[in-house]
Structure 1
Amino acid sequence: MPLKILILEPYYGGSHESFISGLEKLPFEFESITLPARKWKWRMRLSAPYYADKLRELDRKFDLIICSTFVDVASFRGLAPRWVREVPLLTYFHENQFEYPMQVNEERDMHFALTNMTTALASDSLAFNSAYNLETFLEGIDKLLKKSYDMKLENASAIIRDRSRVLPPGIDFSTIDTINEPEHDGPPVIVWNHRWEHDKNPEVFFNALLKLDSEGVDFRLVVLGESFREYPPIFDKALKKLSDRVLYSGYAKSRDEYAGWLRQGDIVVSTARHEFFGMAVIEAVRAGCCPLLPNRLSYPELFPKELLYEEEDFVQRLKECILIGKRLSPDRAMELTSAFSWDALTPAYMSWIMDSLAS
């Protein structure tokens, strides 16, 4: 009989959705209970009693449970049927609320960060998508607990580190790999494929492009990524001024269209102030875009130093990339990304699950 695994994901969308899609290809019997990716604060506050109720209705047991950090695991295990406390529960950290960026003028609610901490303490095993995610989480715990007055938890971060491992989310490259590479005989095409939000630091990116445009440096631009009702005004300002250079801007309508635009690119750029992993960049690199990334966050874990820049060198490095205008060779693109495919990562995920059953 295959192992029966229950996945609880109250924020089913984006990277969380693609992660589960890949996970369900492992040789186990999976069942998922999901909710749409919206109102994340309500998800974190109420998913525990919601899922506890669902399991009582389901009246069925599983061998193992996997949650995301949008489930308050400590509350869930206390409210759920008894068998939930008797089987391994694993939590995957796509992000942590100590380091997650706030909206402009928004104050951090440490309740959510503490929920992440108690979730980690109440889980049997943890996986983080990057060492950067893990280390900022543990640093956040240590800093916060220094303010806890007479309620000292001396070993909290040590306990959490001991049950943690770094497991990048597997990526399905099949759509990108099946799209033929087009001819690249015009000016170099720069790709931006990030959310249209302040934490991705679009002002630095677009101001650099506007400067190079004023110097007569020739390039084309593809701006992908999800936008929301409110987004930084630099997008409208820059896209208007660079309109003769823009090949496309907006959210791609399908996975095929998205992959097609990545294939059109020569350079992919990040100026992010926040990144727990970097799936969008890895996808662009797989498509052949040469990456130019900040030497911080998760990027030094993912790519060699020659593809990283220091803040003060960004405009000059971008100019050099444009003037060279050279895409990655197919072999180099594979070399830089193959470690992040589900095929490559399956043994590590199998080990995470099987180790939790043995402990």
Structure 2
Amino acid sequence: MRVLLIEAFYGGSHKQLMDLLQEELQEDCVLCTLPAKKWHWRARTAALYFMQTVPINPNYRILFASSVLNLAELTALRPDLGKLKKVLYFHENQLVYPVQKFQERDFQYGYNQILSCLVADVVVFNSAFNMESFLTSIGKFMKLIPDHRPKDLEEIIRPKCQVLYFPVRFPDVSRFMPEHKLAHFEKVIGVKRNGIAYQTVGLASQQKCRALMKTSSTARKSGLCEVQPRLHTTQHEGLPSPLIAVARLNKSEASESTNPCQEEDKQHLTFNLSNILSGWDYQQRPLHIVWPHRWEHDKGPETFFEVLLKLKEKDLPFHVSVLGEAFSEIPDIFSEAKKALGSSVLHWGYLPRKDEYFQALCMADVVISTAKHEFFGVAITSPWWVVIIFPCTKAVPS
């Protein structure tokens, strides 16, 4: 086991990335995680937890972690890990992450990420905007220190940084697609198969992966270099034919983590939109709108529900499915909107199984993001459905 994967917030896109890396590396890695709960405490204390729980192994060569972890603290507490090639991955950054009020921004979280960058050997961001917004905010952020401020941190960190888009596998979901979408997609694929669009997808990401793992001799010996070329920005598992409904999905969809720190299993929700909508002609039924995001303020739920309630006031017909994961603190707008929307609601709540989630997206007419801050929207990254993004303050393209 030469690659050590550490994830202090093992859920959502963080989990998706680590699971994919673990699947690709197979026997050559070990994964250590904490459940995706109370990220504030994970950012504060995860290093101390992993100091005690990460097994000592003289064969480790690479440490790969997300920026939730305070890498500086961990490597100080575990000098053996400090000797490894340390790769830090930024899903988001705390220097520009939206808060409900400016005074609520805790200096410690951004400071932790800056310290982690200083001790990392390679710092990877999932988009150019993520990288630049972090690096160019360091100077202003450090001015919050009342005196004796450190200098030139951006210049020290920038040479280590690069963009590596989030690796996404697109499974064949044709068995979930309604007939009118299958017919349309057949036409689209018929055109694109004659071109080179799908042949070049992910090439830049592949080259960056190779370069990332060739920056030290220890990386070349680790085995990670041979695996990385398969981690494309958009990795298609064969272009599906709408004439043949393939029942194959990722093997990882049905698998459950055996990590002892994993969250307890969530209650399964039965979901079959095909049955719900079976009596409707697609040209006559109401527009089906899907919102598939975390139930938190940075995803802009107020903007989304404000629009839906205006449609409701005007007696315009629509259906809505509100997906995404909820945590201990749920904005009040969700319970208020569910009651106000009434019979317009088709589904309300998290879908733990990927096939149900894919079905919800495939049966949607539009999938909407109202996020105030989105570096790489994994929840809606797919060529299968339409995405509409409402203009919000600080909303940015991935």
TM-score computed with the length of structure 2 as normaliser: 0.67
RMSD after superposition: 2.6
Is the 8 Å Cα contact of residues 269 and 292 (structure 1) preserved in structure 2? yes
Give 2:98's aligned amino acid.
P
Matches within 5 A, 1:13-24: 13-24=11-22
Say yes or no: does 1:35 pair with 2:34: yes
| CA positional deviation for 1:150 | 4.5
CA 1:168–1:177 in 2, change beyond 3 Å: closer, same or farther? Answer: farther
| CA positional deviation for 1:127 | 0.7
Give 2:148's aligned amino acid.
M
What is the distance in 2 between the residues matched to 1:175 and 1:20?
22
What is the distance in 1 between the residues matched to 2:139 and 2:333?
37
What is the distance in 2 between the residues matched to 1:226 and 1:61?
37
- Residues 105-160 of structure 1: CA deviation (Å, up to 9, x unaligned): 97222012101100011100011122222223223321122243553433211222
Say yes or no: does 1:226 pair with 2:325: yes
- Residues 172-214 of structure 1: CA deviation (Å, up to 9, x unaligned): 3216455333553322211111122222222221121222233
What is the distance in 1 between the residues matched to 2:43 and 2:388?
35
What is the distance in 1 between the residues matched to 2:143 and 2:328?
39
Note the residue ranges of structure 2 that are not aligned, 5 or more in a row. 181-281
What is the distance in 2 between the residues matched to 1:106 and 1:181?
48
- Residues 78-130 of structure 1: CA deviation (Å, up to 9, x unaligned): 22134x33321000011222223336797222012101100011100011122
Is the 8 Å Cα contact of residues 370 and 392 (structure 2) preserved in structure 1? no
Aligned to 1:241: 340
What is the distance in 1 between the residues matched to 2:53 and 2:334?
43
Give 1:78's aligned amino acid.
A
| CA positional deviation for 1:262 | 0.6
What is the distance in 2 between the residues matched to 1:67 and 1:245?
42
Give 1:143's aligned amino acid.
K
**What SS class does the counterpart of residue 346 from structure 2 fall into?**
strand
Note the residue ranges of structure 1 that are not aligned, 5 or more in a row. 302-359
Runs (4+) of structure 1 exceeding 6 A deviation are none
Say yes or no: does 1:194 pair with 2:293: yes
TM-score computed with the length of structure 1 as normaliser: 0.74
Name whichever of 105-114 and 264-273 sits farther off.
Answer: 105-114
Say yes or no: does 1:207 pair with 2:306: yes
What is the distance in 1 between the residues matched to 2:53 and 2:378?
32
2:165 aligned residue (165, 168, 177): 168
Aligned to 1:86: 83
Give the count of matched residue pairs: 295
Is the 8 Å Cα contact of residues 175 and 259 (structure 1) preserved in structure 2? no
Aligned to 2:95: 98
CA 1:161–1:297 in 2, change beyond 3 Å: closer, same or farther? Answer: farther
What is the distance in 1 between the residues matched to 2:351 and 2:12?
13
Aligned to 2:186: none
Whichever structure has more helix as a proportion of its residues is: 1
Is the 8 Å Cα contact of residues 175 and 255 (structure 1) preserved in structure 2? no
Aligned to 2:124: 127
CA 1:143–1:7 in 2, change beyond 3 Å: closer, same or farther? Answer: same
Name whichever of 263-272 and 232-241 sits farther off.
Answer: 232-241
CA 1:178–1:151 in 2, change beyond 3 Å: closer, same or farther? Answer: farther
Say yes or no: does 1:61 pair with 2:59: yes
CA 1:297–1:61 in 2, change beyond 3 Å: closer, same or farther? Answer: farther
**What SS class does the counterpart of residue 172 from structure 1 fall into?**
strand
What is the distance in 2 between the residues matched to 1:256 and 1:106?
41
Aligned to 1:281: 380
- Residues 291-332 of structure 1: CA deviation (Å, up to 9, x unaligned): 33437757434xxxxxxxxxxxxxxxxxxxxxxxxxxxxxxx
Say yes or no: does 1:264 pair with 2:263: no
Aligned to 2:241: none
2:71 aligned residue (35, 57, 73): 73
Say yes or no: does 1:4 pair with 2:2: yes
CA 1:178–1:19 in 2, change beyond 3 Å: closer, same or farther? Answer: farther
Aligned to 1:307: none
Is the 8 Å Cα contact of residues 93 and 127 (structure 1) preserved in structure 2? yes
What is the distance in 2 between the residues matched to 1:86 and 1:182?
56
What is the distance in 1 between the residues matched to 2:344 and 2:8?
40
Is the 8 Å Cα contact of residues 369 and 390 (structure 2) preserved in structure 1? yes
**What SS class does the counterpart of residue 300 from structure 1 fall into?**
coil
What is the distance in 2 between the residues matched to 1:264 and 1:126?
38
What is the distance in 2 between the residues matched to 1:177 and 1:34?
33
What is the distance in 2 between the residues matched to 1:76 and 1:229?
28
CA 1:165–1:256 in 2, change beyond 3 Å: closer, same or farther? Answer: same
Give 1:211's aligned amino acid.
K
Give 1:20's aligned amino acid.
M
| CA positional deviation for 1:275 | 2.0
